[in-house]
Amino acid sequence: METLAGRALPASVPVGEAWELVDRADAQSVVAGGHWSGRTLGELWRSERARCFGGVAGPDQFPLLIKILDAEETLSVQVHPPVGLAAELGGEPKTEMWYLLDARPGGHLYAGLRRGVGREEFRAALGAGTVEQTLHRIKAGDAMFIPSGRVHAIGAGCRILEVQQNSDTTYRVFDWNRTGLDGNPRALHIEQSLRCINFDDPEPALAAPGADGTVVECPHFRVERIEVRESADLLRNAPWTVGFVLAGDIGSGSERFVRGETFLIPSGAAGVRFQADGPDGAQILRITG
């Protein structure tokens, strides 16, 4: 988190994730400077939507939540509820994607189930503590799409940018037979998970940028990887855009954004071009809703 994203972290506290762009009741992104300085993302989304977001229709909260995840050890096996079940279970639906920023040698991801694993085989593995044998394990690569209902876990040593629906609902189905900091097993949500897991989703493949740079496109977001050699209109054809700097640095006027930084371009910046510095340009993830 310090080297890839330039964060200053407390020495004695483990930090596993940073919420880069957030509009939640318990957490808000705040404008760092300029005309809207000090205003929260939620305030702008609700009271200045026409000026900042092109007046697009949508929910009461900004539709995306963007995080950086630093998995020092393999994270728990999880699933997020699909839209048809979320309200019934008291949660929010969540589809997400992972973009790999870095991984230790041998880094891997778990996504979906092995071919032939059904509900009863998975339930039996839960009882026996052998869930890993049912999971599709894949070497960490460019990106992985995680639609709601896809069981998943991030392997140790992976650093990831996560783009997701604005939801904080996660059902933990297996935690590698570990205990928590208090010495007791962490709470699991087995019955909710079994209702949410898509058992017709065997061995999904990694997502890789297409010829136009698109990494993932779904009804909730589109993520592109863009090479900026000199300048680019990052807002093009969108009412708003979120940028994440993968390499190099980029900016417009006096505003500069460097590796590991997330920035939001409002609709009022239509036509503004962003310039990359240096002979190698910059590499950007462009995220739109």
- Single-letter amino acid code for the residue at 218: C
Q: For residues 200 and 211, what is the distance between their CA atoms, to the nearest angstrom?
A: 29
**2-196 belongs to which homologous superfamily?**
Jelly Rolls (2.60.120.10)
Do the first three CATH levels of 2-196 and 214-288 match, i.e. the same topology?
yes
Tell me the average pLDDT across 79-89: 95
- Rounded (10°) CA dihedral 271, 33, 67, 171: -110
Tell which residue, 64, 151, 68, 67, has the closest CA to residue 109. 151
Q: For residues 24 and 179, what is the distance between their CA atoms, to the nearest angstrom?
A: 29
The domains of the chain are located at 2-196, 214-288
pTM of the model: 0.94
Dihedral sign computed on CA atoms, order 232, 212, 239, 168: negative
pLDDT of residue 2: 81
Q: For residues 241 and 252, what is the distance between their CA atoms, to the nearest angstrom?
A: 15
3-state helix, strand, coil in the chain (%, to 5): 15, 35, 50
Instruction: Give tens-digit pLDDT for 101-121.
Output: 999 999 999 999 999 999 999
CATH topology of domain 214-288: Jelly Rolls (2.60.120)
- Rounded (10°) CA dihedral 106, 221, 152, 193: 170
For 126, the token pair is: 């839960």
| Residue positions annotated with a catalytic role | 172
| DSSP 3-state of 4 | helix
Instruction: Give tens-digit pLDDT for 179-229.
Output: 777 778 889 999 999 999 999 999 999 999 999 999 999 999 999 999 999
* Residue 125 confidence (pLDDT) above 90: yes
185: which residues sit within 8 A by CB, 6+ positions away? Answer: 175, 178, 179
